Chains A and B, each alone.
Chain A
Amino acid sequence: MKYILEVKNLSTAFKLQSGWYRATTDISFALRQNETLAVVGESGCGKSVTAFSLMGLLPEHGSRIDSGSALFKGEDLLTMPREKLRKIRGSAMTMIFQEPMTSLNPVLTVGSQIAEAVYYHMNVGKAAAKKRALELMDMVKIPDPKNRYNDYPHHLSGGMCQRIMIAMSLACEPDLVFADEPTTALDVTIQAQMIYLLNELKEKQQMSMVFITHDLGVVAHVADRVAVMYAGTIVETAPVADLFADPRHPYTRALLKSIPRLDKDNKDITPIQGMVPSIDNMPEGCRFFARCEKKDQCRPDEFPQLLPLKNSSNHQVRCLLCE
């Protein structure tokens, strides 16, 4: 089975005043061509850190990758020279950011920013780059691209800016796109448009996507597989249907239970008690232990591994009780 991206045991640490602490621990996942992996989890659980580690965009000072490998089309992203990684970034592997309004340079026209990406990576002339930029603007369904080309970011709405960002990141037909909460800053109707657009373009260009979000509703729409993250680790990963039908990890279950639904009376919504452990005070054993419903049947001393379930190898859970 051929994977576009194969991440194994990735751990990233940040420097705080009292020393180095791991923001993510033992992240492993694999992604096939044209597959979407949704990474879900609450704020600060390490979703974005994972993406930034793989893109090589962590701050130079105060962060490091402790262990792991990340094979992208057979080459390790984590050990390759910076220059080589930089060339892959933006062409074969790109990223869509959370806030479209601030992700574009305010003093350059939106069209020229798309054209720049084309010009820089595709080795074409300026005229060809402009033509391609107009095509891309049409592709992401921006009405009247010719006139919008010379607009500045502040002339456009958030949704339009996000379309520009999508056009930029898809300019060089990447094999892999990290979408870091691309819909979070947009209102709900635009969110749906954006998700359909991304899905459509993904099918068209046969690319793989890592879709980072904290919205399980979005996950159901876009993902082929889901990885649920909690406190810097992946606690459960499964095909999207399996995860919603048969969540195994107590955290996933609790997460699903805490979503209000329109078609139910919502009396059984149960928030998860307690707090996420802080980065400088991670428990040795299971990180969800203190908040777990079934902690009476479990023990806090052993750090569980991400292991496949007995009856389905596709569904992996990090839980001592599920082993």
Chain B
Amino acid sequence: MNTIARFKHFGTETYHVFNRNKTSWIGLLLLTMLVLLAVLAPVIAPYDPVEQHIIQRLEPPSSQFLLGTDYYGRDVLSRIIWGCRVSFIIGSVSVAIAMFFGTILGSMAGYKGGYFDAFVMGVMDVLMSIPTLLMGLLIVAILGPSQANLIIALALTMIPRFARIARAPTIAAKSKVYVEACQAMGFSDMRILVVHIFPNIFGELMVMGSMWMATAVRTEAALSFIGLGVNPPTATLGGMIREGFKDIMSAPWASLYPGLVILLIVFAANLLGDGLRDALDPKLRNEK
């Protein structure tokens, strides 16, 4: 069977297990809706997110501005939709980068063992000892606040996490008889890692990917909140909370709704992660 068909088959079984878990569907549905919203932002958003309706500043939610306007008279709904876009781009790209490099480093360290393992994981531990937010601050302070630098900062803090997550199951898989059998079949180390070990750790990586996606979105919001994220006037969820903060008593909608959306994203990503964990775990799949 070729690789595509193999993954299709793997996919149908995964689908069935995933299907049994109703909460994971809620997560998937929510996240899909939010992603769609972000992707279709130029079509859906009622106003330009940076267009200022100066006369209608801090207007409460109405039929004209569904979620009200902020201090500069910008439509909160449109800004949230565009902010989601920024959050998802930063979240998914940084997770993808971190997952890619972290998996390569971690699984190679786990498979090779010895000094290589000790060295790589030592470096990872040093990186991991710096809190995510602090690391973000550091990088943004050095490179300056921009979307690309934020992605670099987030990816860098998540690489050691993915390396760890990839390493442990690689070590566990390495001592399994089927890996020994692969060695006895004369397969190269690379092939054993990619074809035989990777599918076994893929599930755990996807779960952690969706969970860390939530964290990346949260950290991005936090950095934007303290003014180190993407430069204004670009709409970001964290930045909106900050800008609305000074009028929170008189016009809570300006910072409350973006906060709510961050909560939704994090919640949905975590639900999805839980569902995926059950669906991709080869042991749980056997229990039919």
Contact = CB atoms under 8 A, between A and B. Distances in A.
A103 B6 contact: no
B1 A90 contact: no
Contact of A89 (B6, B176, B184, B196): B184
Given A61-B114, A115-B1, A120-B186, A97 B199 contact: no
Contact of A116 (B113, B176, B180, B195): B195
Nearest to A130: B1
Contacts, number: 81
A86 B121 CA distance: 29
A165 interface: yes
From B177, B178, B282, residue with most partner A Cβ within 10 Å: B178
Contact of B178 (A104, A111, A112): A104
B16 interface: no
Contacts of B6: 108-109, 112
Interface string B261-288: 0000000000000000000001000100
B185 A94 contact: yes
B246 interface: no
B100 interface: no
A94 B178 contact: no
Given A61-B113, A105-B178, A149 B1 contact: yes
A107 B95 CA distance: 25
A89 B1 contact: no
A115 B5 CA distance: 14
Contacts of A23: none
Contacts of B187: 90, 116, 120
A149 B188 CA distance: 24
Give the interface SS of chain B, mostly helix, strand, loop or mixed: helix
Given A106-B200, A126-B2, A154-B286, A89 B195 contact: no
B22 interface: no
Interface residues on A, range: 35 or more
Contact of B176 (A102, A111, A121, A150): A102
Contacts of A121: 186
B15 interface: no
B183 interface: yes
Contacts of A109: 1, 6, 9
B181 interface: yes
B36 to A, nearest CB: 32
B263 to A, nearest CB: 35
Interface in B161-185: 176-178, 180-185
Nearest to A171: B185
B177 A99 contact: yes
A52 to B, nearest CB: 9
Contacts of A103: 177-178, 180-181
A154 B285 CA distance: 10
B119 interface: no
Given A90-B184, A168-B185, 17 more contacts: A86-B188, A90-B186, A95-B181, A97-B184, A102-B176, A106-B178, A106-B282, A107-B200, A109-B1, A109-B9, A111-B1, A116-B195, A120-B185, A120-B191, A126-B2, A168-B181, A169-B184
7 contacts: A91-B186, A105-B182, A107-B200, A108-B195, A150-B1, A165-B181, A169-B184
The 10 A-B pairs at the shortest CB distance, nearest first, are namely A90-B186, A89-B186, A90-B185, A95-B184, A102-B177, A107-B199, A103-B181, A112-B1, A105-B178, A103-B177
